Amino acid sequence: MMSMSSSMMSMNYIHCTRVQSKFIHGHNSITLARSKSNVEATLTLKPCTPKLKQPSLVVFCSDSVVLVKRNPIASLTLLWMATKVMEVVKGLDLKRYMGRWYEIACFPSRFQPSDGVNTRATYTFGDDGTVRVLNETWSGGKRSFIEGTAHKADPDSDEAKLKVRFWVPPFLPVIPVTGDYWVLFIDPDYQYALIGQPSRNYLWILSRKNEMDDEIYKELVKRAKDEGYDVSKLHKTPHSNPPPEGEGPEDTKGVWWFKSLLGK
């Protein structure tokens, strides 16, 4: 799916669970490592200002500064500025990528109804190089949808980084909303894909079919985890067989939009 989240500058963090602290001759340092990511660093810890109410440290790492609100001796986890660049697909064939994709799993978003089923996206390649986007889901027995466009963020780059734009609310489109759409992985036959964003707040597992083999699903989840995503937030999308083909009543009043804003 292509997100409706607002595009903004954000600082990317990863959650480190392998933390080793060592204190030598009064000089505090902490070594962080993230499994199978080639990310490892030794950071220098310095006390924060005494005005802070709880014991805190400032972590200096290259040009990054991270505030840790607990002493590392008492905690084995902390937030660390990610130095690993997220890997994306290179040389994506956009024409092969077109067509229908089913949402197998995603991070829940307030821009999608929480009870949505049979969620899917259909991409159509235009003559001007712009991709037409149609996102659909069924909620309460009614078909809800939103339309938008997508294009490569950098036409001169071979990286699969796209920008998407939707007009909201869908029943009275007046506000443009843009977001990032990065293809993190796609199989050689273009049958399943992993989609993310630089913020790591959105994630989708897509398939040409509305079901996916468990081994393939686990492989994609592992890839997402290796890229720093909190895969515990993944929610599988229910699908019916056969999938709907656009028949039935439509939500023409945007009820799903208001429900999604309320987190329902």
CATH number at residue 189: 2.40.128.20
pLDDT digits (tens, 9 = 90+) for 207-245: 999 999 999 999 999 999 999 999 999 999 999 999 887
Domain span at residue 106?
A: 94-243+250-261
Which of these ranges, 68-82, 95-109, 249-263, has the smallest mean pLDDT? 68-82
Give domain status of residue 21, yes or no: no
**Residue with the two structure tokens 């409706």:** 4
Do 137 and 179 sit in the same domain of this protein?
yes
Q: Which of 53-62, 134-143, 185-194 has the lowest mean pLDDT?
A: 53-62
Q: Please give the pLDDT value at position 137.
A: 92
117: alpha, beta or left, given left = phi > 0 and alpha = psi -120 to 50?
beta
Asked whether the whole model's pTM tops 0.85, one would answer no
C-alpha to C-alpha distance for 15 and 120, rounded to whole angstroms: 30
pLDDT above 70 covers a percentage of the chain that reads 60
Asked whether residue 18 is domain-assigned, the answer is no
Q: Could you count the other beta carbons within 10 Å of the beta carbon of residue 54?
A: 8
Are 77 and 208 in a shared domain? no
pLDDT at 246: 63
Residues 79/69, Cβ–Cβ less than 8 Å: no
| pLDDT of the residue at 156 | 94
Contact 133, 245 (CB under 8 A): no
129-138, 200-209, 236-245: range with highest mean pLDDT: 200-209
How far is it, in rounded angstroms, from Cα 99 to Cα 128? 17
For residues 98 and 76, membership in a common domain is answered with: no
Q: Is the pLDDT of residue 249 over 70?
A: no
Residue 3 lies in a domain: no
Domain count, the chain: 2
Q: Are both 116 and 194 inside the same structural domain?
A: yes
Domain ends where: 39, 55, 81? Answer: 81
Q: C-alpha dihedral over 6, 261, 251, 103, to 10 degrees? A: 60
**Do the beta carbons of residue 133 and residue 154 sit within 8 Å?**
no
Say if residues 203 and 224 touch (Cβ distance below 8 Å).
yes
Give the residue-averaged pLDDT of 22-40: 40
pLDDT (0 to 100) of residue 38: 39
Please state, in angstroms and rounded to a whole number, the distance separating the CA atoms of residues 168 and 177.
Answer: 7
Across residues 191-203, what is the average pLDDT? 96
Q: Is the domain of 115 the same as that of 226? A: yes
What is the reported pLDDT for 144?
A: 86
Residue 247 pLDDT greater than 70, yes or no: no
Judge whether 206 and 196 are in contact, CB under 8 Å: no
Asked if 125 and 163 sit in the same domain, the reply is yes
Together in a domain, 101 and 63 = no
Residue 186 lies in a domain: yes
Task: Let me know if residue 5 belongs to a domain.
Answer: no
pLDDT averaged over every residue in the chain = 73
Residues 40 and 164 in one domain: no
87 contacts 185 by C-beta, under 8 angstroms: no
Give the DSSP letter of residue 114: T
Q: What was the pLDDT predicted at 119?
A: 95
Based on the fold, state whether residues 183 and 227 are members of the same structural domain.
yes
Q: Which amino acid is at 258?
A: F
In 3-state terms, what secondary structure has residue 194?
Answer: strand
Separation of alpha carbons 205 and 196, rounded Å:
9
3-state secondary structure of 119: strand
User: In the predicted model, is pLDDT for residue 74 greater than 90?
Assistant: no
Identity of the residue numbered 195: I
